[in-house]
Amino acid sequence: MSVKMVTFKTVFDKYSELGKARNERSGHKESQIRDKLMEIVDAVGIEANLLRAGKNFNSPLEIPETSVRFCVDVIDWHTSTEAKALRKAAFLEVSAEKKIWLIDGFSDFLKMRGYDAKTIEQQRRLMEYRMNCSLQKNLAILQKNLEAIYSSVLNLRQSIASHFLYEDQVLFADFAAKKVTELANYLDEVADYLDDGRGEEIYDSAMAELNNSNSAEIMERELRQEQVFQAISQDERYQKLTKERNELLEQEDLIKNKKGRYQQIVDEMQKIADGYEKKIFGDIMPAEPEIHFVMNHPITALADAIAYKKEADEERKRIMARPPISEEEQEVMRKILAEHNF
């Protein structure tokens, strides 16, 4: 059964019925209410073009009639504490329940628009990734387990069948605290090894990319960039656009009100730079390809970090197990140091 498609005007009218949208003479316009919806769309990570009648940035929204209420609720939610956190990319401050509501709502929107299951699943994954859903789930499990440890130690003597003495609980609480501290230290070290491992991967990939690069091409690109920079630094229009772009970036409502203008500025700045490059060198050099980092799977990276930690612990044990240096050995070392003026 096909679903009727409506324009945003239908959503605006429904939202107005809540008594929260003022008429245009009072200052609230349909476009301003639409911007609230699009700001949430941008924040959750779904591709906005999939909600439009066309692929152009200015194409009107095409909304399934069954999703009108959802859109109204999203707009009404826009000024809530959680919505503000979402718009600031503070995703862990948004509840898992609210994220599920947003993901399901936009997925249903796409389904009613007639998109295939593959596209809808891809957009669900994009939204889940963007909003840190997997991280939030695992952090919630971690917090629950830590709270369970505390609760267990706290209530050791609460059971009728418990034979714990007060002194037993005191000692056990101290024992548990030390074990948790050991675990925290262990996790800190594993995290450090994991971070170091990722850094080495990126460095190795970058060096491999550099070794495979054409040195003559690199030099030509640097020469062109320097010449073009000198030209645009003297171009009044370019400098004016740069100032306007920077001012827009400092505004909190960039996504809400100025995104279209920002893109126009960036496009014009690039056009000016390209014009100077073509004037100076006769052509425009193709964009430099992005470095593609081939990273290990997280499971592999974590396993390596744990293995490094184990090796480091074993090395520490070997060092600690060595017998102390004898008096004779200490005397030999003193003589060697003295000969070298140490």
Residue 287 has what DSSP assignment?
A: P
Q: What is the mean pLDDT of residues 173-194?
A: 96
Q: Which residues 6+ apart lie within 8 Å of 5 measured at CB?
A: 62, 63, 64, 65, 113
pLDDT tens digits, residue range 195-224?
Answer: 999 999 988 887 877 776 667 777 888 888
Q: What is the mean pLDDT of residues 149-166?
A: 89
Encoding tokens for residue 93? Answer: 């401050």
- The pLDDT score that the predictor gives to residue 258 is 66
Q: What is the mean pLDDT of residues 328-335?
A: 79
pTM flag (> 0.75): no
Encoding tokens for residue 159? Answer: 């059971």
pLDDT at 113 over 70: yes
Which residue, among 186, 148, 155, 187, has the nearest Cα to 172 in the 3D structure? 155
- The pLDDT score that the predictor gives to residue 14 is 92
- The pLDDT score that the predictor gives to residue 224 is 86
Let me know: does 269 contact 238? Beta carbons within 8 Å. yes
Weakest-pLDDT range from 125-129, 278-282, 328-332: 328-332
- The pLDDT score that the predictor gives to residue 62 is 94
pLDDT grade, residue 24 (50/70/90)?
A: very low
Q: What is the mean pLDDT of residues 76-104?
A: 96
* Arithmetic mean of pLDDT over the chain: 88
Let me know: does 44 contact 106? Beta carbons within 8 Å. yes
pLDDT tens digits, residue range 27-83?
Answer: 468 888 999 999 999 999 999 999 998 877 778 999 999 999 999 999 999 999 999
Secondary structure element (H or E) that encloses residue 63, with its range: strand 63-64
Percent of the chain with pLDDT over 90: 57
